[in-house]
Amino acid sequence: MMGREPQDDVIVVDDLVREFGDFTAVDHMSFRVHEGEVFGLLGPNGAGKSTTIRMLCTLLRPTGGHARIAGYDVVRQASQVRQHIGLVAEKLILYDRLTARENLRLFGKLNHLPEQVIDERADYWLDRLQMTRWQDHLAGTFSTGMKQRINIARALLNMPRVLFLDEPTLGLDPQTTRSIREFIMELHKQGMTIILTTHMMAEAEMLCDRVGIVDHGKMVALDTPGGLKRLVSDNGRLVLELEISNLSESMVRDLQALPEVASIDHESATSLRLHAQPGEGGSTEVLSRVIAAIHADGGRILRLSTVEPTLEDVFLKLTGRAMRDEASEKVAPRRGHWRRAATRVR
Ligand SMILES: Nc1ncnc2c1ncn2[C@@H]1O[C@H](COP(=O)(O)OP(=O)(O)OP(=O)(O)O)[C@@H](O)[C@H]1O
Ligand SMILES: [Mg+2]
């Protein structure tokens, strides 16, 4: 395989800055997005994700630095940039008094697309987004999820080389969220370059080839989800979840006494979470000692699993703060213990 050529980078962001008065919303940000990649900007409220997207989409002028999309400068060649991009913005942009199809027609015309092209592409995207049967209904009657589908179809009408999705599943029900994520994965398979923002770790992890973690306008880390997670697991920590019959206080004490065991959290009457720092014998030795200690105390292991770090742990390690609570996302019960464990390794 040949090395990656610079022209493969369809987005080049170089030292980008945006100030609002004396507040710096985007603080010298630099990154590149490869052709065909799904690139995520992950960060808490107010991190500067949308401001970055708006600058890349030519909607907001940078205070400093440069950005190029498909080779065009977002300030000096804004109209060429716009030809190559589609944007699904944070706020829905639809006219309630127009039907789904009329909305698409209107936006297609604003983009100077010929009527026939608009109709063909509207057919295509409405079908792919499973909205064909609703095309002649007023947008005002649609659920948020249906509106978002039309919004996505609208962004795709000019067959963009780069699709920007700003929090594409925010506020959607789980079923719609799943189908939108699946749709994004389909676009990815077709080779579209996608840049999305999210504050949901699971979303970043599921969809993105690479993730930039943004905090206070700065990109504090940039890697694949796996690479980011190695940031917190590379020091070799091992977290085990155990379900044990006959779990007793003395058993917990004996486990606690093992040299590798750093701490133990009780999860319930029969389960616990054990944080260990493997020694020379590695994880295998920790496992066998743990198992032996439990057996010696007459316990039986019903379930044993290792707990993987999450991007939340990465964020916590990098910033010392937790991200916004993700009530809408499925999270492991009592993940807080693991969070605290992550703080200790800083
Ligand atoms: N037009 C503006 N005028 C003044 N401040 C602004 C403006 N737009 C954004 N900001 C500020 O810049 C910071 C970054 O905002 P931005 O919308 O980019 O964050 P975000 O990462 O998208 O957050 P969220 O997850 O809430 O969407 C925030 O503190 C915000 O208040
Ligand atoms: Mg935002």
**Model pLDDT, residue 70:** 95
Verify whether ligand 1 is closer than 6 Å to residue 46 (CB atom).
Answer: yes
| Sequential pLDDT tens for the chain (346 residues) | 455 555 569 999 999 999 999 999 999 999 999 999 999 999 988 999 999 999 999 999 999 999 999 999 999 999 999 999 999 998 888 999 999 999 999 999 998 999 999 999 999 999 999 999 999 999 999 999 999 999 999 999 999 999 999 999 998 999 999 999 999 999 999 999 999 999 888 899 999 999 999 999 999 999 999 888 887 765 667 889 999 998 999 999 999 999 999 889 887 889 999 988 888 888 888 999 999 999 999 999 999 988 877 787 788 878 877 775 443 333 333 333 333 333 322 2
Cβ atoms of 328 and 171 closer than 8 Å: no
Select from 3.10.20.440, 3.40.50.1980, 3.40.50.720, 3.30.70.100 the CATH code of 231-344.
3.30.70.100
Q: List CB contacts of 126: < 8 A, sequence separation 6 or more.
A: 100, 101, 104, 132, 135, 153
Q: How far is the CA of 303 from the centre of ligand 1 (A)?
A: 45
Verify whether ligand 1 is closer than 6 Å to residue 199 (CB atom).
Answer: yes
138 bridge partner residues: 99
- Among 20, 40, 63, which residue's Cα sits nearest to residue 199? 40
Q: Would you say the C-alpha torsion 186, 82, 62, 22 has a positive or negative sign? A: negative
Q: Which residues of 122-153 are buried (b: 16+ CB within 10 A; e: fewer)?
A: beebbebbebeebbeeebeebeebbbbbbbbb
**Model pLDDT, residue 340:** 32
**Model pLDDT, residue 328:** 34
Side-chain half-sphere exposure of 313, counting CA atoms within 13 A: 28
Task: Please report where in the chains the tokens 């993940």 appear, as a residue.
Answer: 335
- Among 264, 257, 265, 267, which residue's Cα sits nearest to residue 292? 257
Q: How far is the CA of 50 from the centre of ligand 1 (A)?
A: 7
For ligand 1, pick from 23, 51, 319 the residue to mutate: most ligand atoms within 8 Å of CB: 51
**Model pLDDT, residue 319:** 82
What does the CA dihedral 72, 78, 84, 89 come to, rounded to 10 degrees?
Answer: 130
Instruction: Report the atom number in ligand 1 closest to the C-alpha of 167.
Output: 27
Second-level CATH architecture of 6-223? 3-Layer(aba) Sandwich (3.40)
Nearest CA to ligand 1 atom 22: 50
User: What span, in angstroms and rounded, lies between the C-alpha atoms of 270 and 250?
Assistant: 14
58-to-20, 148, 168, 262 alpha-carbon distances in Å: 17, 22, 19, 51
214 bridge partner residues: 219
Tell me which ligand sits closest to the C-alpha of residue 43.
1
**Model pLDDT, residue 6:** 52
Task: Please report where in the chains the tokens 């464990």 appear, as a residue.
Answer: 341
User: What span, in angstroms and rounded, lies between the C-alpha atoms of 138 and 216?
Assistant: 40
Can you give the residue ranges of every domain in the chain?
6-223, 231-344
